[in-house]
Structure 1
């Protein structure tokens, strides 16, 4: 190999290393939120200190909707379900007798919201049930390749927050194991989580529907069946962490009152620990909401408790230099 080639490679590696050390979160503006996160990571990863945490116990949990990617104008899984029903409607004329499904076909989202969990379960039953996990994953993947956000005009899996992708990398580079703990469907999120976030399926915890095992033509088959078995939201999140992780995290990232219990479970009475709330304050680059969201993500009680609990509140408008990555971009600076 030529000396010039070796030198060039050395320069690239060196610059990348310096970049990650000097500015591990380049899409964050300097300020108290970024400083608090960096200080926490340094605290728990510095050997021979009272606050050092062994790598096996460095567990961080992240909500998905509104924390890792956008959640407006509706949660993206619900948009997928609605568009699946619209796509399949010609093959299912009997749906016209179902008031909830007819509301979906007529575009009456307000009526669907008013129907609450009962309406949501009907929509999920029609759009998700009766499929194997593989069949369902293919439908989600196919939808992801063509569907685009109505405002941002980019695929939904590109409506992710670049600053939070950097946080994921930053934590992993410091031997954290990161999990998604979200109210979204686990099967839905697992289709894209590894490619988009670098989080493998076994580290994606979410709501899940009923399923049954069958042996068909001497082949083992799993079938998604109607009904919701577990809702991974609010008080359900600490329960899910207990069931599927088996350890309390030391870091938690959320954006709504649905994450309040998970933030409490992670931080109350535990030192060192870290809680962060993403506050949507940027109507120009994303959305601005808390008490009265148009979609999901109501944030009232968790925001009120933040100071008392020492949770870091991110002001999206001032703390993030960039919101979304450029197409095909992940992090500008990685180890």
Structure 2
């Protein structure tokens, strides 16, 4: 899809009103002899193992108490894929198609017409206003429970447009191992993502072993009021409350976690400030960037991508000696390998 990065990222944040991923089993809970068995031996794996050893060795100079072992992970492009578009955005397009029979006027009304016709140029031409209309139509005007159900139903049947796999199988096996390894060593793992907090909170525990209270994301306004039937409930409104991306990530960490992470993992320029914030603290720190270099098993992209652009963060990461995880060389496998 040829929508510019800054526009699509902004609109994606406005779609922060979703919920639901159903995973078939707690693959993240498995603990093989090599806790990072899907990682090839190399600088990235060594940096992780060495860091965890140092911060968990009591009496050592870099020891960190368990309650301060905070690790934050971006979601899109870091824990699961984000091409050819953010999955929450693909959900919005599919919802327009699902709801279209109840809205015959959409066949002649932009941007709905373009979505229904598969006209990406027309969709791009509708601009921010058009995408806002799509978000309003698919992410608001319902209760939080109703929205959660709609996303869960979508994920139960939808398939990735090019990989033809359920979205529940587009998570990264090496990252599941890393999350489990960190938790086994006293870390508390958090998602800090530009994606919708309600979208992620439904699937995070089953997919990653991260409970909903440890998910920080963008959010829309939710109101507690009576519905048409007089029943009190939480209703989703088409208004932005908080954007958890870029400089918003350290703000979100402070607001919802209350501790500076000692480990942060991202994959795009939208994660740069989170990585800067994590490494600005005292004591041992580890920043990691996932570089998408595998065009055969996944995708190869960075500076010129419309989704997950990696430019400034990669440059700063290399200059500061952050751990750059090369997907092609550092990972034995990419996607979730067992269910």
Q: Please indicate, yes or no, whether the TM-score normalized by the shorter chain is above 0.5.
A: yes
Contact in 2 for aligned 1:121/1:228 (Cα 8 Å) = no
Going from structure 1 to structure 2, the CA distance change for 1:218 and 1:84 (only over 3 Å counts) comes to closer
DSSP 3-state at the match of 2:39: coil
Going from structure 1 to structure 2, the CA distance change for 1:209 and 1:162 (only over 3 Å counts) comes to same
Could you tell me how far apart the structure 1 residues matched to 2:326 and 2:200 are?
26
Match of 2:289 among 248, 271, 277: 277
Could you tell me how far apart the structure 1 residues matched to 2:125 and 2:308 are?
16
Match of 2:236 among 206, 224, 243: 224
Give the match for residue 15 of structure 2: none
DSSP 3-state at the match of 2:258: coil
Match of 1:147 among 132, 142, 158: 158
Match of 1:28 among 33, 39, 44: 39
DSSP 3-state at the match of 2:111: helix
- How far 1:270 moved relative to its partner? 3.1
User: Which residues of structure 1 form unaligned runs of 5+?
Assistant: 1-15, 329-335
Contact in 2 for aligned 1:121/1:227 (Cα 8 Å) = no
Match of 1:105 among 116, 122, 130: 116
- How far 1:122 moved relative to its partner? 2.0
Could you tell me how far apart the structure 2 residues matched to 1:105 and 1:231 are?
28
Match of 2:304 among 292, 296, 300: 292
Match of 1:70 among 81, 84, 107: 81
DSSP 3-state at the match of 1:290: coil
Could you tell me how far apart the structure 1 residues matched to 2:124 and 2:307 are?
10
Alignment partner of 1:249 is 2:261: yes
Contact in 2 for aligned 1:268/1:309 (Cα 8 Å) = no
DSSP 3-state at the match of 1:165: helix
- How far 1:110 moved relative to its partner? 4.1
Going from structure 1 to structure 2, the CA distance change for 1:296 and 1:114 (only over 3 Å counts) comes to farther
Per the normalisation by structure 1, the TM-score is 0.88
- How far 1:219 moved relative to its partner? 4.1
- How far 1:30 moved relative to its partner? 0.2
DSSP 3-state at the match of 1:253: strand
User: Which residues of structure 2 form unaligned runs of 5+?
Assistant: 1-29
Give the match for residue 51 of structure 1: 62
Contact in 2 for aligned 1:277/1:311 (Cα 8 Å) = yes
Going from structure 1 to structure 2, the CA distance change for 1:112 and 1:271 (only over 3 Å counts) comes to farther
- How far 1:309 moved relative to its partner? 2.5
Give a deviation string over 1:117-136, Cα, whole Å, max 9, x none: 44332221110101111111
Give the match for residue 309 of structure 1: 320
- How far 1:277 moved relative to its partner? 0.3
Contact in 2 for aligned 1:256/1:298 (Cα 8 Å) = yes
- How far 1:141 moved relative to its partner? 0.7
DSSP 3-state at the match of 2:297: coil
Give the match for residue 195 of structure 2: 184
Give the match for residue 167 of structure 1: 178
Per the normalisation by structure 2, the TM-score is 0.87
Report the more deviating stretch, 201-210 or 59-68: 201-210
Contact in 2 for aligned 1:100/1:123 (Cα 8 Å) = yes
Aligned residues: 309
> Higher relative CO (CA 8 A, sep ≥ 6), structure 1 or 2?
2
Report the more deviating stretch, 303-312 or 75-84: 303-312
